[in-house]
Amino acid sequence: MNYMKNANFRAGVAITSFMMIVILIGLFWTPYDPNAMSGSEKFNPPGLSHPFGTDNFGRDIFSRVMQGASATFAIAAATVAIGLAGGLIIGGLTGYYGGWLDDLLMRINDSILAFPAILLALVMVAILGKGRMNIIISLGILFMPSFARIVRTEVAKQKNTDYVRNAKLMGASDIRILCVHIFPNILTVLLSSVAIGFNNAVLAEASMSYLGLGVQPPDPSLGRMLNEAQNFLTRAPWYAISAGIAIILLILGFGLLNEGLSDE
Amino acid sequence: MKYVLKKTGLLLVSLLLISVLAFLAFSVIPGDPATKILGTQYTPERAEQLREELGLNRSLVERYLSWLSDFVRGDPGTSYNYFIPVREVLSGKIQVTVALSLISWLIIVLTGLPLGVFMAKEQRPRLGRFGIVSNQVVMAVPPFFMGILLTYFFGLILKLFTPGNFPGFEESLPQTLFYLLFPALAIALPKAAGVAKMLRSSILKEMRLDYVRTAYSRGNSRWDVIKNHVLRNAMLPVITFLAMTMADAVAGSIIVEQVFALPGLGRLLLASIGNRDYPVAQCIVVMIAALVVFMNYLADIISQYVDPRVRLN
Amino acid sequence: MKRRISYLLIACLMILSLASCTRDPKPPVDPAAPGKPLDGGEITVAMYSDLDSSLDPHESGNSAATREIMFNIYEGLVKIDSEGNIIPALAESYSQSESSDEYTFKIRPGVKFHDGRQLEMADVISSLRRAAGLDSGVALVAAFSAVKEVEQIGDDSVKITLNAPDTEFLPRATAAIFPRDIDPVTQVCGTGPFKLTSRVVQDNIVLEKNEDYWGTPAYLDKVVLKVYEDGEALVMSLRSGASDMAMRLGASQIAELDSLNIIEGSNNLVQALYLNNAVKPFDDARVRQALSYAIDKQEVINLASDGYGTPIGSSMYPAFGKYFMPELTDYYTRDVDKAKALLKEAGYPNGFEFSIAVPSNMPPHIDTAQVLVEMFKEIGVSAKIELVEWATWLDEVYTQRKYQSTIVGVDARDATASDLLSRFVSTAADNFTNFNSAEFDKVYAEAKASSNDKEQTELFKDCQRVLTEEAAAVYIQDLASFVVMKKGLEGYLFYPLYITDFAAIYRTE
């Protein structure tokens, strides 16, 4: 992989793998039960027994950050998966067939892209309701247009290459051409948009949960934790800071990966 | 001229589309405004009476058309929650959001551009590297967390301002602007980092072009080349980007208003969605969306004005 | 979302009632060493939430938060004092027919509205008719749906005739009276000690002293209610001196306010895990009892509110001294084995899963819910918290009763026992828990029919006992409520209802 020569990419890989390891461990083991409360250990500052301190219920913040990061990451992954799947279908079809449907869909696509994402997300959540599943669906749908646009451009480019024409002459079906011949070729281009997609999805989940529209308590999510932590900023600043740094690391890691992938 | 006309036509279509979408969105939301208004004293008879009064019994198309025609004439209806005209509910809130967005935009321009030029011309490897890394980190900070950090350091530790104690324009203009500085920074810093980065790579790309080599060969220093030749060309994509950033600043204020307890449109929007105060929520969504679309329109017009090549596309 | 919109909003609670009369007063909490009251002055009061509804005093959707403030602006024929007694207000005297179905009020002469007009009989009649919906057909004040007729008697009296005898009607006669020609939805004009002079939505509400008040006038000239909606911001404003006072703070907030006067009171709410008695598994009393055995009320209070709060055991809070039964508080004490045994008996040896709907704008309830979830885990029951918007809560939980369980605080709208009990009658329109007990219905009906105060009190106590034994809900606590005032401000009175009386507050030297 010649990507490894790129400093951004290396840093991105390092940060993202670090977070992935933390998240993976968090799935199976956390130092404490993230939801276990203790009346005698409220608002303990960071120390040996609780590296990130404890919160208003005496819960271990480090364990909650581990769990929160995996919740946030899982939502981001599901969002990107839905967005990418939708984007491949819409972008693939419009790019391959073109015509008036292409014009229409891309026009709608562009007007959706012109809206601030947060506004759309708010309206979507107002319609669908809050909670983990709904936030995934809302964000997933919101992510489709940007993927669709990239896929469409790439598919339209590939459509006119010799090998696709050859495949057509040999009688391959359109679906086969799209899935077997075109999609594998655009995957590398898509990688960098997947990375930026993760970046945006983490930010979106964190924002929505911060506003109280995403993950609901007692499930931790990094945004949700920040929402709660803000109430205790004077008494327990470490609460907000630990959750915030975890969000930054996730976003930074994916951001750098995207940089690395898109630098030629 | 033809380009402007075409773009203007598209703008009008977009605005119409926004109004339909916003109206539809708030019409399919589950839940009945009448139950919220009646609260714990709900009876079917009273609910029916209220729906009649609010005009909720009419068909969707009828409701949309009457809402649109009132809206265009400057009357966005009556709040379901406060029972006063939406215009009155919004009064005072718009100024806060507009002021906040403007200040953040100014900060983006005033810090992002010089920073971008600086990072492009800086050739000392350590300093340049440091600039790029810290820039990248700042870009990764979500505005609401930036807001929390600013609240903590400037509000709680340095006590430069009292978090949550927004003075209001009538009370004291300088104090209000000072208070707005912090939420504006929260919105602007990550964005400014983005602008700086974009300008830097735009400059570096220009630097590889032939005319730059010619300029160098005439004995100009790197800084002179950037200042006299590269900057103008490198700015083209950035200008468009800055116009769109204005829209981002407005969107950013929705969240950051929550962090700093600012009485602006964002907070009102969240509250009115929660209260099912659709006339208010609808009005705010339409206003913000229209503003964003308009900013994009301006960006298009400006970029074709400064760079006629755009017209050919 | 609005995370911190908080405690005042606990507020948006429930409502309803009918009245019986006197009760043992809760001793008003006396601010240490009261100074000499000074007339005049202006204070800024930090509030947790906006008055998020119409200011129409008859509009029954009014949240408790709105009623708390409107108490200072509007008055009815009678009003409540801080000890829970019904005292004359716009009626200077009243009488009740032998059969308790006719009440006659003699209107006080010389009362002026905030706009300077004289209170006339026609205003009284039109306001009461509006509240009862005699002309529109729909009663705006629920308690007035029992009113059959409102008529003028002589020059200065009004007679209210009820559909059926009701000894608890007098405390209901607090429905506001306002000029007959205003639209109360958009105009605010009452007779109370304060008048509303301006309001900016989500920002502030300004009250000014009514100089022409018929009774004891307020000390303060002006009260500015500033909306914060953000716990931290509200506390900061008190610390910085930008606000002079705040009501209904939670335990976690007062920790940072020790330089101010802190007065502890209670919120006068019945906080409980309300169970939908009509859905499985909560249709089985054993399951409901098992949940009651699973929790340790004091531990909930310790974890969720630093130990402040009063545990309760039935649908009544301590401020209702006459009806409150402390012995029910410990009817269920934490006993994991017993809870598990009950679950096994009910056919859930491995526990079950259920969801708790909690209004997202009420942090005290969210905190309580989080603690309960952990406690239920130990008896093998897995509960999931589902935060819902207040509007959704009203719609789905309260109105449509499509829920499994919910945590809220229920308040009494008027000073009557039935305010807190009538909703458990199986046929009650507001029986959102679908509680269905023939025994309760019978005892409650007897209590309502009783005209002997002592007997009635005993019967109301029996009602509570049934609720506890049947575990209609998992009763938890009356939340602590703190009032914080700047040094030099005094006079805060705790009412047995969700009310703040600004007229009583004064500055000292």
Provide the H-helix boundaries in chain B: 2-28, 33-38, 44-54, 60-72, 86-90, 93-121, 125-139, 143-150, 173-207, 210-217, 222-225, 231-259, 265-274, 278-306, 309-312
pLDDT digits (tens, 9 = 90+) for C219-241: 999 999 998 877 777 888 888 88
User: Does C271 score more than 50 pLDDT?
Assistant: yes
In a domain, A35, yes or no: no
How much is the pLDDT for B17?
83
Residue range B203-213: mean pLDDT, rounded: 81
Residue range C443-452: mean pLDDT, rounded: 88
In a domain, A135, yes or no: yes
ipTM, 2 decimals?
A: 0.89
User: Does A89 score more than 70 pLDDT?
Assistant: yes
How much is the pLDDT for C17?
31
Strand order in C157-162's β-sheet?
A: C91-96, C102-107, C157-162, C147-153
Residue range C30-56: mean pLDDT, rounded: 77
Quote the mean pLDDT of chain B: 83
Residues contacting B62, CB < 8 A, separation 6+? none
Query: What distance in Å separates the CA atoms of residue C248 and residue C438, rounded to the nearest whole number?
Result: 38
Residue range C50-75: mean pLDDT, rounded: 80
Rounded to a whole number of angstroms, the distance from the CA of A31 to the nearest CA of chain B is: 26
How much is the pLDDT for B313?
45
CB count, 10 Å around CB of B157? 11
Q: Which of B12, B24, B144 to mutate to test the interface with A (most CBs of A within 10 A)?
A: B144
In this complex, which of A115, A210, A247 lies closest to B292 when CB atoms are compared?
A115
How much is the pLDDT for A218?
66
Query: What distance in Å separates the CA atoms of residue C423 and residue C449, rounded to the nearest whole number?
Result: 17
Residue range B254-268: mean pLDDT, rounded: 89
Nearest CA in chain B to A204: B142
In this complex, which of B148, B258, B292 lies closest to A244 when CB atoms are compared?
B148
Would you call B201 exposed, middle or buried from its count of C-beta atoms within 10 A (0-12, 13-18, 19+)?
A: middle
User: Does A209 score more than 60 pLDDT?
Assistant: yes
User: Does C32 score more than 60 pLDDT?
Assistant: no
- Hey, which chains touch B, using 3+ CB pairs under 8 Å? A, C
- Hey, which chains touch C, using 3+ CB pairs under 8 Å? A, B
Query: What distance in Å separates the CA atoms of residue A253 and residue A18, rounded to the nearest whole number?
Result: 9
Residues of C whose CB is below 8 A from B183: none
Residue range C343-357: mean pLDDT, rounded: 92
Of residues B92 and A21, which shows the higher confidence score?
A: A21
How much is the pLDDT for C27?
42
Closest by CA to C345, choosing from C403, C428, C285, C280, is: C285
How much is the pLDDT for B106?
93
A65 close contact with B: CB closer than 8 A: no
In this complex, which of A129, A213, A230 lies closest to C1 when CB atoms are compared?
A213
How much is the pLDDT for A175?
82
Residues of A whose CB is below 8 A from B149: 241, 244
Q: Strand, coil or helix: what is C47? A: strand
**How sure is the predictor about C4, in pLDDT bands with cuts at 50, 70 and 90?**
very low
Question: Residue C15 and residue B39: Cβ atoms within 8 Å?
Answer: yes
How much is the pLDDT for B145?
94
In this complex, which of B17, B29, B255 lies closest to A118 when CB atoms are compared?
B255
Rg (CA), chain B: 24
Residue range C179-201: mean pLDDT, rounded: 89
Rounded to a whole number of angstroms, the distance from the CA of A19 to the nearest CA of chain C is: 28
Of residues A39 and C124, which shows the higher confidence score?
A: C124
How much is the pLDDT for C34?
59
User: Does B282 score more than 80 pLDDT?
Assistant: yes
Question: Residue B140 and residue A122: Cβ atoms within 8 Å?
Answer: no
* Count of domains for chain A: 1
Rounded to a whole number of angstroms, the distance from the CA of A143 to the nearest CA of chain C is: 23
Contact A105, A90 (CB under 8 A): yes
User: Does B214 score more than 50 pLDDT?
Assistant: yes
In this complex, which of C13, C61, C236 lies closest to B162 when CB atoms are compared?
C236
User: Does C324 score more than 60 pLDDT?
Assistant: yes
| Distance, C-alpha B142 to centroid of its chain | 15
In this complex, which of C200, C233, C391 lies closest to B164 when CB atoms are compared?
C233
User: Does C24 score more than 50 pLDDT?
Assistant: no
How much is the pLDDT for A5?
74
In this complex, which of B26, B151, B281 lies closest to A233 when CB atoms are compared?
B151
Residues of B whose CB is below 8 A from C203: 92, 168, 263
User: Does C245 score more than 50 pLDDT?
Assistant: yes
Residue range A49-58: mean pLDDT, rounded: 87
A115 close contact with B: CB closer than 8 A: yes
How much is the pLDDT for C18?
29
* HSE toward the beta carbon, residue B207, CA cutoff 13 A: 16
H helices then E strands: how many in chain C?
13, 20
In a domain, A86, yes or no: yes
Residues of A whose CB is below 8 A from B17: 111
Nearest CA in chain C to B159: C240
Query: What distance in Å separates the CA atoms of residue B289 and residue C284, rounded to the nearest whole number?
Result: 52
Question: Residue C142 and residue B41: Cβ atoms within 8 Å?
Answer: yes
Quote the mean pLDDT of chain C: 85
Contact C314, C462 (CB under 8 A): no
Q: DSSP secondary structure string, C421-442?
A: HGGGSTT-TT-TT----HHHHH
Let me know how long chain A is: 264
Question: Residue A248 and residue B140: Cβ atoms within 8 Å?
Answer: yes
pLDDT digits (tens, 9 = 90+) for C454-480: 899 999 999 999 999 999 999 999 988
**What CATH number corresponds to the domain at position A9?**
1.10.3720.10
pLDDT digits (tens, 9 = 90+) for A214-234: 887 767 789 989 988 888 888
Write the single-letter amino acid at C331.
Y
Nearest CA in chain A to C235: A231
Please name the CATH architecture into which domain B93-260 falls. Answer: Orthogonal Bundle (1.10)
Q: Which domains does chain C have, with CATH numbers?
A: 40-50+192-265+486-508 (3.40.190.10), 74-172 (3.90.76.10), 268-478 (3.10.105.10)
Rounded to a whole number of angstroms, the distance from the CA of A209 to the nearest CA of chain C is: 8
Give the domain extent around A233. Answer: 3-28+47-263
How much is the pLDDT for C89?
93
How much is the pLDDT for C11?
38
Q: DSSP secondary structure string, C355-386?
A: EEEEETT-HHHHHHHHHHHHHHHTTT-EEEEE
How much is the pLDDT for B110?
92
How much is the pLDDT for C10?
38
User: Does C345 score more than 90 pLDDT?
Assistant: yes
Q: What percent of chain C is modeled with pLDDT above 70? A: 92
Q: Most confidently modeled of B124-128, B149-153, C25-29, C198-202?
A: B149-153
How much is the pLDDT for C415?
75
Question: Residue A57 and residue C371: Cβ atoms within 8 Å?
Answer: yes
In a domain, A51, yes or no: yes
B35 close contact with C: CB closer than 8 A: yes
Of residues C16 and A33, which shows the higher confidence score?
A: A33
Angle between helices B60-72 and B2-28 (to 10 degrees): 130
Residues of A whose CB is below 8 A from B140: 248, 251-252, 255
Question: Residue A119 and residue B247: Cβ atoms within 8 Å?
Answer: no
**How sure is the predictor about C28, in pLDDT bands with cuts at 50, 70 and 90?**
very low
Question: Residue C374 and residue A131: Cβ atoms within 8 Å?
Answer: no
Write the single-letter amino acid at C224.
V
Residue range A4-18: mean pLDDT, rounded: 87
Q: What percent of chain A is modeled with pLDDT above 90? A: 33
| Distance, C-alpha B123 to centroid of its chain | 35
Of residues B44 and C367, which shows the higher confidence score?
A: C367
pLDDT digits (tens, 9 = 90+) for C381-438: 999 888 787 777 887 888 889 999 999 988 887 778 888 898 999 988 889 999 999 9
Task: Read off the pTM.
Answer: 0.81
Residues of C whose CB is below 8 A from A217: 366, 369-370, 385, 387
Residue range C47-55: mean pLDDT, rounded: 76
Of residues C167 and C279, which shows the higher confidence score?
A: C279
**Per-domain boundaries in chain B:** 93-260
pLDDT digits (tens, 9 = 90+) for A135-183: 899 999 999 998 998 898 888 888 888 888 888 888 888 888 888 878 8
